[in-house]
């Protein structure tokens, strides 16, 4: 018997750099050999773990007796295609993250253990020999059976799904089976072919306006090549229609499409626009789906069955049989960046993947990130502007409401209340935006100045009214409310500051006749609560909507004519260099909810700084001019996109330990002028969930020098002996600095 040994370099999901060698023995059966992208089960330390084969070799650099055997090969195929392997390798290197953890993050949870991939099958119907010999005309008693036989003779075998679609799956099918003319067979997904002959479009395309047509033509020309497009379209300009028509072009080439959307954009409304347009299998991947559903979606994409995959951040790792286009909607949205652990940007990975797989990628936004605008300026991306609202809608009128010297009630100034009344009187809807849920951010004793403090975090506990409790929105701590001041025993504690619950209450008192609908994470916790609210809003009856970000993005509310922003001044003083950019994006998104159909929309912003030049610029000249001002500022101070940044985070229950670790690192790093080292400084919220957090910032004009410095940091930290209660993480291209 031939005795061969295959060496496998595998990635193990542990926080260690590099691959590990194992061997597969007794390979007299060549079908037993492994391929990159295959999953195996190995022992690692005192545990057993799933690992992914990355390389297959004849020899290892390790001594033969140091290499352990693979315990089990989990599937006979390499289920991770080379395109996803390549993307993961790139991501591990760019984000300086352990490769095993990257692969593991790229897989559905159910594939991270030892269970093999379930073989998914679909049911088909096939004619028996007798069936093939039968002339449908001879079945005179039942026209339906005759019809089904006719279908099967022209398409044998035929998927049960198709037969169901033709309403022939019930008794006609049962009868044919009973007569021995047809039988059901299970077909492995991979073999399943598209046999549905129905048209791809379930509803007609809209005729494109000139700008949309131009954008579509450009995209169409690049199908089959890598090209990055920045579809910059004001809210309501019909970006989605451009996506849909580009998707149609790709689907007609028998290719698949990946659509990434931010968590908040993942609304039933958005999804139904894709569902309604196309007659083809579509898959939605996001954290709200069960593990089983996600695994199915993953398999359907991998087999080529799902033609459109719509998902949040992690869907960027979905395997495809034949990918033809990637779309990243709301490309500026911060939820596209993972903020813990393996901190990748799904948008940036989308561009890398498109490049690797030679397919076009469309980044869409009404308010593109400064990075993308800069890339377009440098001609790395092609900008496709949509400057007009689609259909007949015109852009809204903007007003800054000066709050100086004006009393507020529930955060509302008199001029705003008047404005709200005017719009309601015209039978319209009003949207009020406040980015803070709960009743009030602080509970305070006016006698002694006691405030409802955090226990574990450096923030106040937010007061919630119904039900009444204090809640920390950062570590999720909840507790009951003191009935008297814990310090001076005074009986009266007063809420201070604004929250959506409180404003809702005040609005209801001011407008007792009008329904007030609050939309935030608390009010929409119950299943379908959000959907029901959206449905109510869409009846178009006069009402006041008060809500957080959940209300700001992506929705199309035809009857909202006034969008009001209660408080955005915080961003004007933000210490984060992206504070202004984010504010501009959010305000533009909120403004985009007003006047999306026939009626003129109006946008009002309450502020104590009505003369602020950037605010005025945003309101008078719009986001593109505002963004070009910000870009000029960034250039002056060498911040992204004119420089590159990485952060090293450290945390520990002990303040000094976190700080000292980063100090040691900072002392170790060479003092060269090409990478600036700043810090360590405490993170904005220095204490969170009982742990102290510090950060060290690395900054360079060149991406390459920055990455060299990060590699040095990583080597240093990986080899340093440190207490187990200290944790560190790297963040490349951070989107939050403090
Ligand atoms: P965006 O995604 O840019 O905010 P949408 O795609 O939601 O814009 O389009 C806004 C509205 O305009 C939708 O109701 C859409 O059906 C409509 N619309 C888009 N393109 C056209 C078009 N070419 N002709 C008429 N209506 C259109
Ligand atoms: Zn007190």
Residue-level pLDDT at 558:
83
- To the nearest 10 degrees (0 to 180), the angle between helices 613-621 and 623-637 is 140
Residue-level pLDDT at 502:
87
* Res. 738 pLDDT band, cuts 50 70 90: low
Shortest-distance ligand to the CA of residue 231: 1
Does the domain spanning 397-436+499-630 belong to CATH 3.40.50.300?
A: yes
Q: How far is the CA of 451 from the centre of ligand 2 (A)?
A: 8
Protein residue whose Cα sits closest to atom 21 of ligand 1 = 390
- Report which listed range, 184-198, 275-289, 350-364, 433-447, is most confident: 350-364
**Mean pLDDT, range 222-228, rounded to an integer:** 97
Tell me: pLDDT of 385 over 60: yes
Q: Are 502 and 439 in contact (CB under 8 A)?
A: yes
More confident site: 612 or 162: 612
**Residues 282, 309: Cα–Cα separation, whole Å:** 6
Contacts for 647 with CB less than 8 Å, ≥ 6 apart: 695, 696, 697, 698, 730, 731, 734, 737
Tell me: pLDDT of 319 over 70: yes
Q: Which of 247, 265, 277, 391 to mutate to test the pocket of ligand 1 (most atoms within 8 A of CB)?
A: 391
Q: Is the CB of 212 under 6 A from ligand 1?
A: yes
* Res. 48 pLDDT band, cuts 50 70 90: very high
Q: Which of 205, 235, 238, 393 to mutate to test the pocket of ligand 1 (most atoms within 8 A of CB)?
A: 238
**Residues 372, 641: Cα–Cα separation, whole Å:** 9
Residue-level pLDDT at 95:
97
Q: Where are the domains of the chain?
A: 5-111, 121-188, 210-386, 397-436+499-630, 439-497, 644-732
pLDDT in tens, 398-455: 888 998 888 888 888 999 999 999 999 999 999 999 888 877 777 777 777 777 766 6
Q: Which of 211, 236, 392 to mutate to test the pocket of ligand 1 (most atoms within 8 A of CB)?
A: 236
Q: How far is the CA of 487 from the centre of ligand 2 (A)?
A: 5
Residue-level pLDDT at 30:
56
Q: Is the CB of 13 under 6 A from ligand 1?
A: no
Distances (CA, A) of 100 to 10, 16, 17, 336: 8, 8, 8, 22
* Res. 19 pLDDT band, cuts 50 70 90: very high
Among 86-95, 358-367, 462-471, which stretch is predicted with the lowest mean pLDDT? 462-471
**H or E element: which one contains 431?**
strand 429-433
Q: What is the dihedral of CA 216, 218, 223, 229, to 10 degrees?
A: -90
- Of 703, 647, 634, 637, the residue nearest 674 (C-alpha): 703
**Mean pLDDT, range 189-199, rounded to an integer:** 56
CATH for 210-386 (1.10.10.60, 1.10.760.10, 3.40.50.2020, 3.40.50.300): 3.40.50.300
Q: Is the CB of 240 under 6 A from ligand 1?
A: yes
Shortest-distance ligand to the CA of residue 392: 1
- Report which listed range, 133-147, 454-468, 641-655, is most confident: 641-655
* Res. 384 pLDDT band, cuts 50 70 90: very high
More confident site: 38 or 157: 38
Shortest-distance ligand to the CA of residue 389: 1
**Residues 66, 22: Cα–Cα separation, whole Å:** 9
Atom in ligand 1 nearest the alpha carbon of residue 209: 23
Q: What are phi and psi of 521, to 5 degrees?
A: -65, -30
Q: Are 251 and 200 in contact (CB under 8 A)?
A: yes
Q: Is the CB of 235 under 6 A from ligand 1?
A: yes
Name the DSSP letter for residue 290: -
Tell me: pLDDT of 731 over 90: yes
Q: Are 393 and 597 in contact (CB under 8 A)?
A: yes
Proportion of the chain above pLDDT 90, given as a percent: 49
Q: What are phi and psi of 648, to 5 degrees?
A: -110, 120
Atom in ligand 1 nearest the alpha carbon of residue 592: 4
Q: Is the CB of 239 under 6 A from ligand 1?
A: yes
Protein residue whose Cα sits closest to atom 10 of ligand 1 = 236
Residue-level pLDDT at 201:
92
Core vs surface per residue 672-691: b (16+ CB within 10 A) or e: eeebbbebbebbbebbbbeb
Residue-level pLDDT at 557:
83
Q: Is the CB of 237 under 6 A from ligand 1?
A: yes
Q: What are phi and psi of 607, to 5 degrees?
A: -155, 155
Residue-level pLDDT at 29:
59
* Res. 1 pLDDT band, cuts 50 70 90: very low
* Domain 210-386 identical in fold to domain 397-436+499-630: yes
Q: How far is the CA of 100 from the centre of ligand 2 (A)?
A: 53
Atom in ligand 1 nearest the alpha carbon of residue 556: 7
More confident site: 454 or 695: 695
Average pLDDT of the residues of the chain: 87
pLDDT in tens, 430-440: 999 988 887 77
Residue-level pLDDT at 64:
80
Q: How far is the CA of 452 from the centre of ligand 2 (A)?
A: 11
Q: Are 643 and 731 in contact (CB under 8 A)?
A: no
Shortest-distance ligand to the CA of residue 265: 1
Residue-level pLDDT at 499:
83
More confident site: 500 or 478: 500
pLDDT in tens, 248-265: 999 999 999 999 999 877
Shortest-distance ligand to the CA of residue 492: 2
Q: Are 305 and 278 in contact (CB under 8 A)?
A: no
Atom in ligand 1 nearest the alpha carbon of residue 234: 3
Q: Is the CB of 130 under 6 A from ligand 1?
A: no
Residue-level pLDDT at 134:
87
Tell me: pLDDT of 26 over 90: no
**Residues 557, 517: Cα–Cα separation, whole Å:** 13
Protein residue whose Cα sits closest to atom 25 of ligand 1 = 391
Among 252-256, 453-457, 585-589, 689-693, which stretch is predicted with the lowest mean pLDDT? 453-457
Tell me: pLDDT of 459 over 70: no
Q: Is the CB of 595 under 6 A from ligand 1?
A: no
- H helix runs in 379-528, sequence order: 414-425, 500-510
**Residues 375, 390: Cα–Cα separation, whole Å:** 26
* Res. 314 pLDDT band, cuts 50 70 90: very high
More confident site: 693 or 189: 693
* Res. 658 pLDDT band, cuts 50 70 90: very high
Q: Are 586 and 552 in contact (CB under 8 A)?
A: yes
Q: Are 519 and 545 in contact (CB under 8 A)?
A: yes
Tell me: pLDDT of 196 over 60: no
Q: What is the dihedral of CA 20, 21, 25, 27, to 10 degrees?
A: 100
The pocket of ion ligand 2, defined by CB under 5 A, consists of 445, 447-448, 450, 485, 487-488, 490
**Residues 368, 483: Cα–Cα separation, whole Å:** 48
**Mean pLDDT, range 11-37, rounded to an integer:** 82
Shortest-distance ligand to the CA of residue 366: 1
Name the DSSP letter for residue 329: E
Protein residue whose Cα sits closest to atom 19 of ligand 1 = 238
Which residues share a beta bridge with 23? Answer: 7, 69
Q: How far is the CA of 242 from the centre of ligand 1 (A)?
A: 9
**Residues 565, 589: Cα–Cα separation, whole Å:** 11
Count of helices and strands (H, E) across the chain: 22, 31
The two structure tokens encoding residue 333 = 């949205």
Q: What is the dotted CATH code of the domain comprising 5-111?
A: 3.40.1440.60
The two structure tokens encoding residue 101 = 């953890």
Atom in ligand 1 nearest the alpha carbon of residue 329: 2
Among 385-394, 610-619, 718-727, which stretch is predicted with the lowest mean pLDDT? 385-394
pTM equals 0.85
Q: Is the CB of 238 under 6 A from ligand 1?
A: yes
Which segments of 221-275 are extended strands (E)? 227-233, 256-260
Q: What are phi and psi of 412, to 5 degrees?
A: -105, 130
Tell me: pLDDT of 49 over 90: yes
Atom in ligand 1 nearest the alpha carbon of residue 237: 3
Q: What are phi and psi of 3, to 5 degrees?
A: -115, 105
Pairing of strands 39-44, 72-73: antiparallel
Q: How far is the CA of 506 from the centre of ligand 2 (A)?
A: 26
Q: Is the CB of 688 under 6 A from ligand 1?
A: no
CATH for 644-732 (1.10.357.10, 3.30.70.600, 3.40.630.30, 3.40.50.300): 3.30.70.600
Shortest-distance ligand to the CA of residue 486: 2
The two structure tokens encoding residue 685 = 């919220």
Shortest-distance ligand to the CA of residue 452: 2
Q: Are 363 and 228 in contact (CB under 8 A)?
A: yes
**Mean pLDDT, range 359-368, rounded to an integer:** 97
* Res. 78 pLDDT band, cuts 50 70 90: confident
**H or E element: which one contains 133?**
helix 129-133
Q: Is the CB of 208 under 6 A from ligand 1?
A: yes
Q: How far is the CA of 491 from the centre of ligand 2 (A)?
A: 8
């Amino acid at each position: 018997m031939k005795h061969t040994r295959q060496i496998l370099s595998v990635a193990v999901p542990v926080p260690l750099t590099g691959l590990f060698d194992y061997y597969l023995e007794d390979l007299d059966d060549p079908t037993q050999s492994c391929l990159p992208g295959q999953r195996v089960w190995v022992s690692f330390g005192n545990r057993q773990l799933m690992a992914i084969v990355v390389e297959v070799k004849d020899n290892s650099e390790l001594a033969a007796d140091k290499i352990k055997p693979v315990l089990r090969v989990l599937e006979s195929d390499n289920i991770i295609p080379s395109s996803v392997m390549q993307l993961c390798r790139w991501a591990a290197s760019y984000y300086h993250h352990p490769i095993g953890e990257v692969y593991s993050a790229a897989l559905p949870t159910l594939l991270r253990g030892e269970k093999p991939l379930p073989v998914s099958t679909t049911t088909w119907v096939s004619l028996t020999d007798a069936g093939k010999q039968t002339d449908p005309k001879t079945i005179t008693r039942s026209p339906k059976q005759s019809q089904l036989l006719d279908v099967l003779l022209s398409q044998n075998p035929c998927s049960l799904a198709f037969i169901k679609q033709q309403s022939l799956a019930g008794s006609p099918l049962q009868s044919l089976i009973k007569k021995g003319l047809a039988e059901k067979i299970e077909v492995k997904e991979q073999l399943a072919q598209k046999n549905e002959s129905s048209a791809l479009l379930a509803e007609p395309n809209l005729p494109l306006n000139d700008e949309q047509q131009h954008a579509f033509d450009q995209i169409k020309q690049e199908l089959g090549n890598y090209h990055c497009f920045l579809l910059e379209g004001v809210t309501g300009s019909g970006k989605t229609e451009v996506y849909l028509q580009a998707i149609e072009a790709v689907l007609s080439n028998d290719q698949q499409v990946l659509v990434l959307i931010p968590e908040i954009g993942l609304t039933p409304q958005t999804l139904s626009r894709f569902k309604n347009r196309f007659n083809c299998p579509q898959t939605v991947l996001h954290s709200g789906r069960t593990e089983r559903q996600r695994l199915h979606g993953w398999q359907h994409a991998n087999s080529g069955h799902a033609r459109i995959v719509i998902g949040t951040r992690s869907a960027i790792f979905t395997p495809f049989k034949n990918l033809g286009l990637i779309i990243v909607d709301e490309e500026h949205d911060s939820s596209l960046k993972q903020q813990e652990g393996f901190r990748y940007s799904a948008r940036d990975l989308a561009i890398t993947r498109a490049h690797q797989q030679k397919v076009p990628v469309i980044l869409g936004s009404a308010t593109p990130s400064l990075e993308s605008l800069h890339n377009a300026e440098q001609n790395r991306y092609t900008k496709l502007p949509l400057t007009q609202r689609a259909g007949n809608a015109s852009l809204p009128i903007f007003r800054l409401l000066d709050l100086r010297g004006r009393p507020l009630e529930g955060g509302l100034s008199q001029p705003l209340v008047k404005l709200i009344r005017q719009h309601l009187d015209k039978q319209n809807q009003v949207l009020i935006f406040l980015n803070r849920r709960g009743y009030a951010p602080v509970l305070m004793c006016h006698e002694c100045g006691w405030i409802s403090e955090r226990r574990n975090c450096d923030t106040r506990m937010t007061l919630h009214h119904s039900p009444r409790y204090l809640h920390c929105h950062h570590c999720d701590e909840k507790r009951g409310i003191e009935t008297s001041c814990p310090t001076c025993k005074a009986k009266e504690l007063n809420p201070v500051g604004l929250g959506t619950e409180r404003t809702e209450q005040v609005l209801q008192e001011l407008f007792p006749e009008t329904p007030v609908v609050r939309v935030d994470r608390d009010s929409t916790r119950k299943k379908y609560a959000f959907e029901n609210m959206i449905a109510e809003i869409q009846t178009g009856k006069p009402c006041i909507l008060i809500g957080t970000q959940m209300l700001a993005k992506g929705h199309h509310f035809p009857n909202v004519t006034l969008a009001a922003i209660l408080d955005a001044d915080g961003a004007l003083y933000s210490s984060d260099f992206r504070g202004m950019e984010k504010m501009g994006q959010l305000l533009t998104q909120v403004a985009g909810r007003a006047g999306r159909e026939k009626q003129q929309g109006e946008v009002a912003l309450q502020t104590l700084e009505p003369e602020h030049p950037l605010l005025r610029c945003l309101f008078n000249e719009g986001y593109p001019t505002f963004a070009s001002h910000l870009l000029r500022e960034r250039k002056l101070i060498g911040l992204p996109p004119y420089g590159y940044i990485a952060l090293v985070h450290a945390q520990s229950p002990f303040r000094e330990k976190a700080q000292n670790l980063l100090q040691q690192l900072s002392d170790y790093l060479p003092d060269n002028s090409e990478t600036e080292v700043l810090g360590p400084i405490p993170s904005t919220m220095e204490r969170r969930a009982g742990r102290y957090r510090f950060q060290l910032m690395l900054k360079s004009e060149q991406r390459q020098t920055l990455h060299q410095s990060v590699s040095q940091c990583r080597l240093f930290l990986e080899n340093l002996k440190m207490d187990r209660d200290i944790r560190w993480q790297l963040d490349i291209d951070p989107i939050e600095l403090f």
